[in-house]
Structure formats: C-alpha cells, structure tokens
C-alpha cells in the first residue's frame, strides 16, 4: 500500500474522460467508493483544486492522489500478464502490418480465433502481451473477425485510443472492405442486400439466419470484380452494418454462399477440383480515423489458400482495390456530433474556473437577526396586527365582535329592548 501522496499528469489519451474512469484505467485497484470518499473529503486535487468523480480531465492537468487505496477489500487488482514463449512472440510479430503509439494493425491468419472461449486456448487476444513493455497498458481489441476469416484486425495500444476507435466502429464511420469468392455468379453485378438477421433458435447463438419479422436491420453493398464462367465470382463486400456473420448470411441468402463456408452454404459451398476447402473471406482493407487527426488506411495481403484459388480461377488481383464511396452520414447524426463537440468545448473552457456568484447576483433574503429598534420585522408586524382588537371590541386575536349590550329603555315604558308600550 502506498504511503505517499502521488501526482500524475493527465495524458492526451485521457483528455475528456471522467475522473472516476481515469482511476478505473490507471489505478483499478482503487474502488469507486474510495474515489468518492477522497473526492468528498477534498483529498483528490486537480491542479490544486477539489475535484468530483464526474469531473472531466484535460491533457496536461496534474492530479493529486492521496496515500492508500492500493488494496481493495476483495483483493482484486490488475490481471497478471501471461508469459509468452519465443514462438508465440514471433507469431504475434509476424502478423503486424503497421503500428504506432495508438494502434497495432494485424493481418489475422485464417483459423486463429480473435478471442478465447469454451475450448479455445489459442487466440489473438492471448498474444497481445507481446506488444507491451513493463509499465505499459495492455493492448486491447476494438473489433472482431470470425475465426476462419482472415485480414485486417485493429488493436488499440491504450485505453484512450480504444475508446476513440470503438466510437468510430459503432458510429459506422470506419470503412471495412472485404474480398470474397462466392459460388455461382450474382444476377446483379453491383447490388445492395437488405435482409434483417437474428440468432437461429437451437444453436446457442452460434448461428444466425435471415428473420424478416424479428431480426435486426442489416445491409451489405457488393460489387462483382471478376467471374470464372458460371461457377464462381470474385466480389468486393462492403458491410454498412455490423451484425454477427452478416456477410456470410447475406451471401448464402441470395444463393451465392462464400466458397468454403459450409456452416451457411452446406455442401454447395465447396467447389470441385483443387480449390481449397477453407473459407474464402478476407478483410482486405480498413480505413479509420486516427486519434492524432490523420487516417489509418491499411491493406492486408491475401492468405496462401485464397491467393492460390485466385490464380487457379484466373483472377487478376490488380483489378481489385477500387474505391467505394463511404455511406453518407444522416443529417441528424451530423447535427448530433456537432452539438456534442460544442458541449465538449464549453466544458473545457469552464474547467478550472471557480463558479462564484457576486454579491449583486444573489437574491436578497430576510435577515434572521435582531430587528432594529422601531422597525419591527414583517413577521412580527403581522403577528401584532392579528392581536390588536378590531374597532368595535372583541377578544384580542380572535376577530370575533364583542357581545352587544342591552338597549336602554325608551321613554314611555315597555320591556327593555322591545320598543313595545304598555
């Protein structure tokens, strides 16, 4: 447990994140309850000022963290890193296409899972420790590829870049272009497939299918590059949504399953002759914004089995890689992003400023002290006016009139108060 006050300088990757999120990233052993208590008691300071868990940080600010809090009651902490063998390190490094301070772009081979699961011990996520040194954050995945799909896979180096890239994928601004060999030749050379997709019952979520009634909207644009007679075609696929197994389901649904995809195409997905039985789906290219303001634009070479099938079918690889215009962003999404950016700029301008109202801005409130002589307060004056008898008598403070006195007898006799004469 640390017994000294610690100071951290907020990095560019953490610009704009909440204070409690910063602790989760960099000091995960400090629980949220501890962060809240430190903030409430003024022990956490941001550029010398008190800070709240929901405050957003700016790059360059200095964060003061008090002693203690290194061990949570449950004893939880960051997961220990797995020691990789020399062969595993070499395997990880052989996949690298490009890398910088924010990202690592890999060319995932077919047959290697992206993440672990039941019975899956060998996967990309398990090799990421090869890319981080002592004290560096562990790289993390920001999107997925199927086990049998090869090609471009983006890995974020830092928590900040992971959040940045994840927003680009979820916001559909990232452009992903796939190459596929399919059985048969589509009637339409350039088309758009719009078929909703849902999990197929009884498969435990392992298989998807087209569900017109209850499926999620899914769109795929495709372009035929070349054809091999009537037996096969080489397509460029551009997913406009990101549903599980979307490309595979869509191609099988229009009667042209991806070559080697027995899961969705059955026996009809395998070509005769020497064409490989492996799946011919490759994430060819990825274009995505970079946190530094530039763009990542990476193309992955074909795996051996795919390249061999291209040669056997007589396809010319140089005919591919034609630009496809990205889908236009809806106007409401443009406005939403602009408003969000404006709000963020306003928060940055106000951050660090003390919000104190001037005395002239405060509304006047009645003083509760002793009233000055001869000037009763409004409350006492009201109470006194209630206690004073009204004209005509009556019990003080009740507002009731005093009882009437008997009338004096009139001259001429008679009963008092009746006015009658004898």
Q: CA nearest 65: which of 14, 112, 9, 147?
A: 9
The DSSP secondary-structure symbol of 137 reads: P
Locate the DSSP E strands across 256-356: 281-289, 295-299
Q: Is the dihedral of CA 354, 355, 358, 359 positive or negative?
A: negative
Q: CA nearest 188: which of 227, 242, 219, 239?
A: 227
The DSSP secondary-structure symbol of 267 reads: G
User: What gap in Å lies between CA 15 and CA 61, rounded to an integer?
Assistant: 9
Q: CA nearest 39: which of 60, 24, 54?
A: 54
Q: CA nearest 317: which of 331, 337, 328, 303?
A: 303
Q: CA nearest 184: which of 267, 263, 268, 87?
A: 268
Q: Residue 216 is encoded by which pair of tokens?
A: 């999620």
Coil, strand or helix at 260: coil
Looking at the structure, give the CATH architecture of the domain made up of residues 6-65.
Roll (3.10)
* In the chain, where the domains are located: 6-65, 92-326
Strand pairing class (281-289; 150-156): parallel
User: What gap in Å lies between CA 140 and CA 128, rounded to an integer?
Assistant: 8
Residues 6+ away with beta carbon under 8 Å from 283: 108, 145, 149, 150, 151, 152, 153, 176, 177, 178, 300
Given the candidates 2.60.120.460, 3.10.300.10, 3.30.2350.10, 3.30.365.10, the CATH classification of the domain at 92-326 is: 3.30.2350.10
Q: Are 186 and 224 in contact (CB under 8 A)?
A: yes
Coil, strand or helix at 93: helix
User: What gap in Å lies between CA 188 and CA 221, rounded to an integer?
Assistant: 11
- Cα angle at 99 between 98 and 104, to 5 degrees? 95
Told to judge if 146 belongs to the known catalytic residues of this protein, a careful annotator would answer yes
Cβ atoms within 10 A of the Cβ of 185, count? Answer: 16
pTM over 0.95: no
Q: CA nearest 55: which of 14, 96, 26?
A: 14
For residue 396, the surrounding DSSP H or E stretch is none
DSSP for 34-86, please give it: HHHHHHHTT--EETTEE--TTPBP-TT-EEEE-S---S-TT---PPPPPPPPH
Q: CA nearest 63: which of 16, 2, 9?
A: 9
Coil, strand or helix at 91: helix
Burial of 411 (0-12, 13-18, 19+ CB in 10 A): exposed
Angle formed by the axes of helices 32-40 and 19-26, to 10°? Answer: 130
Q: CA nearest 400: which of 390, 410, 408?
A: 390
Distance of CA 190 to the CA centre of its chain: 34
Catalytic residue among 13, 14, 55, 146: 146
Q: pLDDT tens track of the chain, all 422 residues?
A: 456 888 888 877 777 788 988 888 788 888 888 899 999 999 999 998 999 999 988 888 999 898 876 544 444 445 567 789 999 999 999 999 999 999 999 999 999 999 987 778 899 999 999 998 777 888 999 999 999 999 999 999 988 899 899 999 988 899 999 999 999 999 999 999 999 999 998 876 689 999 999 999 999 999 999 999 999 999 999 999 999 999 999 999 999 999 999 999 999 999 988 999 999 999 999 999 999 889 999 999 999 999 999 999 999 999 998 664 544 444 555 566 667 666 766 766 666 554 444 444 555 555 555 555 555 544 444 444 444 454 445 555 455 555 555 555 554 444 444 444 44
């Amino acid at each position: 447990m640390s017994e000294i006050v610690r100071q951290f300088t907020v990095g560019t990757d953490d610009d704009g994140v909440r204070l409690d999120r910063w602790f989760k990233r960099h000091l995960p052993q400090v629980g949220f309850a501890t962060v809240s208590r430190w903030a409430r008691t003024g022990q956490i300071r941001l550029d010398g000022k008190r800070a709240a868990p929901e405050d957003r940080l700016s790059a360059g600010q200095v964060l003061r963290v008090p002693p203690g809090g290194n061990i949570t009651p449950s004893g939880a902490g960051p997961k220990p890193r797995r020691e990789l063998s020399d062969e595993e390190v070499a395997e990880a490094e052989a996949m690298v296409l490009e890398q910088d301070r924010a990202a690592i772009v890999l060319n995932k081979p077919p047959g290697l899972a992206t993440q672990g699961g039941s019975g899956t011990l060998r996967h990309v996520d398990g090799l990421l420790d090869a890319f981080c040194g002592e004290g560096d954050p562990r790289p993390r995945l920001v999107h997925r590829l199927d086990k049998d799909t090869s090609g471009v896979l983006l890995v974020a180096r830092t928590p900040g870049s992971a959040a940045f890239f994840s927003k680009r994928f979820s916001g559909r601004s990232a452009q992903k272009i796939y190459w596929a060999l399919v059985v048969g030749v589509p009637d339409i050379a350039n088309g758009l497939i719009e078929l909703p997709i849902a999990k197929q019952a009884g498969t435990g979520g392992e298989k998807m299918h087209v569900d017109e009634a209850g499926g999620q909207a899914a769109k795929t644009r495709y372009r035929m590059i070349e054809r091999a007679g009537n037996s096969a075609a080489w397509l460029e696929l551009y997913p406009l949504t990101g549903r599980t197994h979307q490309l595979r389901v869509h191609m099988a649904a229009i009667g042209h399953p991806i070559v080697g995809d027995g899961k969705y195409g059955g026996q009809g997905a395998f070509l005769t002759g020497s064409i490989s039985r492996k799946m011919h789906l490759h994430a060819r290219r990825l274009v995505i914004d970079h946190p530094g303001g530039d763009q990542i634009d990476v193309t992955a070479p074909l795996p051996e089995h795919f390249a061999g099938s291209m040669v056997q079918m007589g396809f010319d690889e140089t005919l591919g890689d034609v630009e496809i215009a990205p889908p236009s962003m809806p106007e409401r999404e443009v406005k939403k992003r602009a408003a969000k950016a404006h709000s963020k700029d306003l928060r940055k301008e106000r951050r660090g400023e003390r919000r104190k109202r001037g005395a002239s801005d405060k509304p006047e409130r009645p003083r509760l002290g002793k009233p000055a002589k001869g000037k009763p307060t409004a409350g006492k004056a009201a109470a006194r006016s209630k206690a004073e008898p009204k004209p005509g008598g009556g019990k003080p403070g009740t507002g009731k009139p005093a009882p009437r006195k008997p009338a004096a007898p009139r001259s001429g006799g008679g009963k008092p108060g009746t006015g009658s004469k004898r």
